[in-house]
Chain A
Amino acid sequence: MMQLAFTEPAGKLSPKDFASSQEVKWCRGCGDYSILKQVQTIFPDLGVAKEDFVFISGIGCSSRFTYYMDSYGLHGIHGRALSIASGVKMANPELSVWVISGDGDSLSIGGNHFIHTIRKNFDINMLMFNNQIYSLTKGQYSPTSEKGKVTKTTPFGSVEEPFDPVALALGAQARFVARTIDSDPKHMRDVLLRAHGFRGTSFVEIYQNCPIFNDGAFELFSDKHAKKEQIILLEHGKPLVFGDAQQMGIYFQNGRPRIAPLGDPQFSEDDLWIHDETDRVKAVILGMFSRMVQDGRPFPRPFGIIFAQEGETYEAMLYAQIEAVRSRKAKMDLDQILSGTKTWNIQ
């Protein structure tokens, strides 16, 4: 072949270098655009060679993401992206593996892989776009849709309780759990950078608005005014405060979280909840905020890094075990494998 080998242009890559030639075909106003943009924005600065990024996705609107990134990508089958990604990571731990999935893909058809991949702790970054609806099939309720949701398959309202993905991931022993939203690009970039830097399965739930089939699902958390009362931006070592003037706080008293104005004499200063990313017990409680109510008022929704504590990754332990066995047992050559231990000769 007379072709010359392709060589990377010298110099730093730009976000454009991560945009593929394929026309992006999401609906106007879809939250997916923002996520694509933030990923392409941070990628040049991650210190990873372009050829080492791999995107694996399942099925759904979100999963088309793979086609729009100019990186290696495999658009798989419904619910199985994590399993394919785990195979890629075991085969080549040097790759930076990103899984793109939605609430239906991850939590419904792919629920089994979701809990087990998280439990096994492969070093992959999982971005789950949660729009609380099945969009690609044109509007049916999903496992994160609120109870009573009226959709094409539930014209009289759904009768089941939703999952909170954060709570589910923590229940599966996740070591990195974060939540962000399509409408806050800077927050999303910060969370994505942390997810990338974390060694182990990083689970990021991204609230993503579907303007066609579930428009406004996250309005409370994206509206400039409403969100101040409705969200807590978590920061490690900082108190859980929210409100128009950051005047409200979460206190932790007698093992229960309580909403109260800062300085409320019912609570001591020490009761104010200080966020600790490495506290799994409190992380589990944060995962329950989405369904907690105090005197008729829902708890504010936590955003940011809910839990992060590194541990050994599956692939690191897999290869360490191979090395450990090799240190006491020599590699068998093929002739030894073929002959086994007991042979006999026939003349």
Chain B
Amino acid sequence: MATGPGIKSEWIEAENIVVRFSGDSGDGMQLTGMQFSDTTAFLGNDLSTFPDYPSEIRAPSGTVAGVSAFQVHFGSSAVFTPGDRWDVLVAMNAAAFKADFPRLKRGGIVIANAAGFDRKGLSLANFPEGANPLEDGTLDGYTLYQVDFNKHTADSLKGIPLQPKEVARSKNMLVLGLLFWMFDKSMEFTVAAIRDKFLDKPDIAEANIQALKSGWNLGENMEIFTTRYVVRPASLPPGTYRNVHGNQAIAIGLMAAAEKSGLGLFLGSYPITPATDILQELSRYKSNGVLTFQAEDEIAAVCAAIGAAYAGKLATTTTSGPGLSLKTEAIGLATILEIPLVIIDVQRGGPSTGLPTKTEQADLMMAFYGRHGEAPLVVLAAKSPNDCFRMAFEACRIAIEHMTPVILLSDGYIANGAEPWRFPKADELPAIRVQFLDRTNGPDNTLLPYLRDEQGVRPWIIPGTPGLEHRIGGLEKEDKTGNVSYDPQNHEKMVRLRMQKIQNVERDIPLAELDSGTTEDGLLVVSWGSTYGAVKTAIRMLRNDGLGVAHLHVSYLNPFPANLGDILGPFQKILVPEMNSGQLVSILRSRYLVPAKAFSKVQGQPFTTEELCNAISEHYNAK
């Protein structure tokens, strides 16, 4: 398709571009964005995407509350975030412009649908009477392409027998065609996708393809379009890639762990934003025997999972903050029972109902300490959409091999964000060791349900095993026998045994390694969870500028990697950026007595690279 520079067009080579497709909920921006992303991925760019929809299901059309956007950041070098600001804003109406113009890069491009900036559109977006940002000088210094997409779509589809509504709905494909022209991307992947999607509706398929091509031709023929951009393929590691969302990656990770452990997968869950996708995704895999249970509430969901774990399944429960609050008592039960249980918390803004569709990392302390009594468990965090796969698998492996609940923290940002993933082959994944006890393990043919191996792990004994009938429960139990015991010395011993068992997990996880930099650097930035991409990007930029800053990312939070203290030790300055008021930093300071400082943001929004760069260099330069 690439035709080389046209007669009139000027070519500009760019390393990275962020496009924000923004429109009314009914404008099809998610689909447009995804198609654009798929094509850029197929053609070898690295990318990261982020959908941004309103929390209301059907907000009034044409209003700012009803704006739905899809953001894609693609580049010829590695891309770790969906981007702070955009180079190109596609605004399908005045409301979309109002919502997303503030974060358009200075001098950036606006592609505006003129039909959405009529009197009605401007008024719904609450622009003052008579004001139109496309005409009043707001865009001085920017590049504005103003096209009536509605009219062009109607014109291009003359002769195809369609209802006016269906014609109007095709305008997003016209926009997409124009973008493909602008970035010199082949239309063939989208054409194939459209044909596939509308197999039994050939008229609709033709209309969409026609609109797509018309969009390309619009760029080719209209005088106003003078500039095209080239973003060369990135030098990604060779291999086979797919696109994956964080929540999808978690579902795949759980299924992979089930397969690799030979256990049936059980998910007990209750719908909650932004974790629901995992339940929805797994409920599709009936043919693989995945058991999904939509319980009456969060508590029933985790308790059913505890029952399933007791009976020998790989049992998981998925939730977000309010649900984790409700599950805490049951998680304490799983802790004292010492059974494998994977709890996935896709964090959102809190406290209480908080910001359901916005992101935050404020459940870390809760994951560490949010149970009554001494109730240690394993805490992990995923750092990117595709890392959700690795950490979900790890959560299952550790839960099973160490007979413990594991909390995996994700968040709304990576749950909904997507990126290319060089997925592993099944046989590259490690086997997960499962052994159900099938005979007595104590002297004189007795059973000791809490007899521990060298890792401090008790046996998994499932009902139905002849001769091993025994009772377990939430009351404190006697060492080894598991019988109820109120003995003071025994209680302290059991508390310590359970703690030691969790501490022993450190022998079974990778050592921490600097992501970049060396111990000679003047400042160490420590990140966890979804801030990884933004921190990594900021550190790269600062190091390119000659700043001596190192970066450590922590995926295994409890226990920490055994060498974490050794890595932190030499640094005189440590900065811990978190989307909370400073939770990991408190734990690091108390655990390792290091001079770590917090850089906090609690706005329901991810860090921008820019604010991280500023904070890091400020701290670096501080006396």
Contact = CB atoms under 8 A, between A and B. Distances in A.
B388 to A, nearest CB: 13
A83 B241 contact: no
Q: Which of A59, A84, A326, A342 has the most CB of B within 10 A?
A: A84
Nearest to B332: A77
A72 B471 CA distance: 6
B469 A50 contact: yes
Contacts of B268: 87
A49 B466 contact: yes
Given A51-B467, A88-B307, A112-B300, 9 more contacts: A72-B464, A322-B289, A332-B287, A334-B256, A337-B285, A339-B242, A342-B242, A345-B239, A346-B241
B468 A6 contact: yes
Interface stretch (A89-97, A280-288, A292-300): A89-97
Contact of B285 (A56, A77, A88, A332): A332
B240 interface: yes
Given A8-B466, A77-B329, A345-B241, A91 B285 contact: no
B591 interface: no
A338 B42 contact: no
Contacts of B312: 91-92
Interface stretch (A63-71, A132-140, A201-209, A217-225): A63-71
B287 A51 contact: no
Contacts of B465: 51
Contacts of B329: 77
B311 A88 contact: yes
Interface in B261-284: 264, 266, 268
19 contacts: A3-B445, A20-B471, A75-B473, A76-B474, A80-B330, A86-B300, A87-B305, A90-B291, A92-B312, A112-B296, A116-B296, A322-B286, A332-B287, A334-B426, A337-B255, A338-B426, A339-B240, A340-B243, A346-B44
Contacts of A330: 287
Central interface residue in B424, B440, B447, B469, by most chain A CB within 10 Å: B469
B240 A345 contact: yes
Interface string A308-340: 000000000010011001100111111101111
B296 A87 contact: no
A266 interface: no
B305 A95 contact: no
Contacts of B330: 77, 80
B325 to A, nearest CB: 15
B484 interface: yes
Given A80-B330, A91-B264, A346 B238 contact: yes
Contacts, number: 225
A52 interface: yes
A94 B256 contact: no
Contacts of A318: 291
Among B307, B440, B483, which residue has the most Cβ atoms of chain A within 10 A? B307
Closest 5 CB pairs of A and B: A87-B307, A75-B473, A6-B467, A83-B303, A87-B304
Interface in B330-374: 330, 332-333, 337
A330 B42 CA distance: 28
A187 interface: no
Contacts of A74: 307, 310, 337, 471-473
Contact of A92 (B296, B299, B463, B468): B463
A83 B295 contact: yes
Given A5-B438, A76-B473, A345-B241, A95 B466 contact: no
Nearest to A57: B473
Contacts of B31: none
B92 interface: no
Nearest to A52: B464
Contact of A71 (B426, B469, B473): B469
Interface residues of B, number: 77
Contacts of A69: 471
A57 B309 CA distance: 16
B201 interface: no
B313 interface: yes
A5 B295 CA distance: 39
B252 interface: yes
Main secondary structure of the interface of A (DSSP, over half): mixed
Given A318-B291, A339-B242, A7 B467 contact: yes
Interface of A: 1, 3-8, 20, 22, 49-56, 59, 66-67, 69-77, 80, 83-92, 94-95, 112-113, 116, 318, 321-322, 325-326, 329-335, 337-340, 342-347
Contact of A66 (B255, B286, B311, B473): B473
A343 B445 CA distance: 55
B310 A90 contact: no
Contacts of B259: 334
Interface string B229-270: 000010011111111100000001001100100001010100
A332 B467 CA distance: 37
Contact of B303 (A80, A91, A333): A80
B475 interface: yes
B483 A22 contact: yes
A56 B303 CA distance: 11
Contacts of A95: 311, 463-464
B264 A75 contact: no
Contacts of A85: 307
B225 interface: no
A63 to B, nearest CB: 9
Interface in B605-619: none
A334 to B, nearest CB: 4
B271 to A, nearest CB: 15
B315 interface: yes
Nearest to A326: B287
Contacts of A337: 252, 255-256, 285, 288
